[in-house]
Amino acid sequence: MTSERLGQALVEEATKKSGLIWVRGAGAPAARALWHVWHEGAACVVGDGPGEQPLPGLTDGGTAEVTVRSKDKGGRLVSWTARVVELPSGSEQWEAAVGELKGKRLNAPDGEAMPARWARECRVVRLEPTGATAPLPDGSLAEAPLPTPVTTREPIPAGLPRLLFRKKRGRS
């Protein structure tokens, strides 16, 4: 019971403090970085409209895997499973989530008209934690770069330091 509460607290605090979360929806090929806001126990995101972030694989009633990084070091803190809930445009929950989201949206092209555009053209989605957290992986999960002939490293030419560091003579 205590470990479950600690897991929930870690998910909430880490997600609140992180500017981006990495989300992989069901059927999506890879995780995608999304800006969000933590509101009433869930991460809320807006997207799938012109000029907004895409939300691939986030379908109402589905699940998603959310990975939260450390804001200062950038390392992975926690991965958790979320239930995806799409908020109906104009509902009380939608209005509350949009009120929080509009304060976090940077460089919006339409300013105060943004919520109306979101109602017409976008989706607002809540990612509600299910309580399941995934163990951190042993390795870095980084992929090796593809081999290419243009990345070979050769020694610098012998005369280059003389060209770069020679003293310039003043004109007389």
Residue 136's CB is within 10 A of a number of other CB atoms, namely 11
* CA-closest candidate to residue 122, choices 152, 85, 86: 86
Does residue 157 belong to any structural domain of this protein? Answer: no
Helix 92-104 / helix 114-121 crossing angle, nearest 10 deg: 120
Higher pLDDT: 170 or 81? It is 81
Largest CA distance in the chain: 84
* CA-closest candidate to residue 134, choices 83, 69, 82, 81: 81
Instruction: Give yes or no for residue 78 having a pLDDT over 70.
Output: yes
pLDDT of the residue at 68 = 94
> Which domain, by its residues, includes 103?
2-138
Does residue 87 belong to any structural domain of this protein? Answer: yes
Does residue 76 belong to any structural domain of this protein? Answer: yes
CB 82 within 8 A of CB 68: no
Does residue 74 belong to any structural domain of this protein? Answer: yes
Tens digit of each residue's pLDDT (9 = 90 or more) over 2-51: 677 888 898 999 999 998 999 999 888 889 999 999 999 999 999 999 88
Q: State the amino acid at position 135 in one-letter form.
A: P
What CATH number does the domain containing 87 carry?
2.30.110.10
pLDDT of the residue at 158 = 82
Does residue 20 belong to any structural domain of this protein? Answer: yes
Q: How confident is the model at residue 151 (pLDDT cuts 50, 70, 90)?
A: low
Does residue 44 belong to any structural domain of this protein? Answer: yes
Tens digit of each residue's pLDDT (9 = 90 or more) over 120-136: 999 999 999 998 888 87
Instruction: Give yes or no for residue 161 having a pLDDT over 60.
Output: yes
Does residue 86 belong to any structural domain of this protein? Answer: yes
pLDDT of the residue at 2 = 65
How long, in residues, is the chain?
172
pLDDT, mean of residues 48-71: 92
How many domains is the chain partitioned into structurally?
A: 1
Does residue 6 belong to any structural domain of this protein? Answer: yes
Report the half-sphere exposure of 172 (CA within 13 A, side-chain side).
Answer: 1
Number of H helices, E strands in the chain: 4, 7
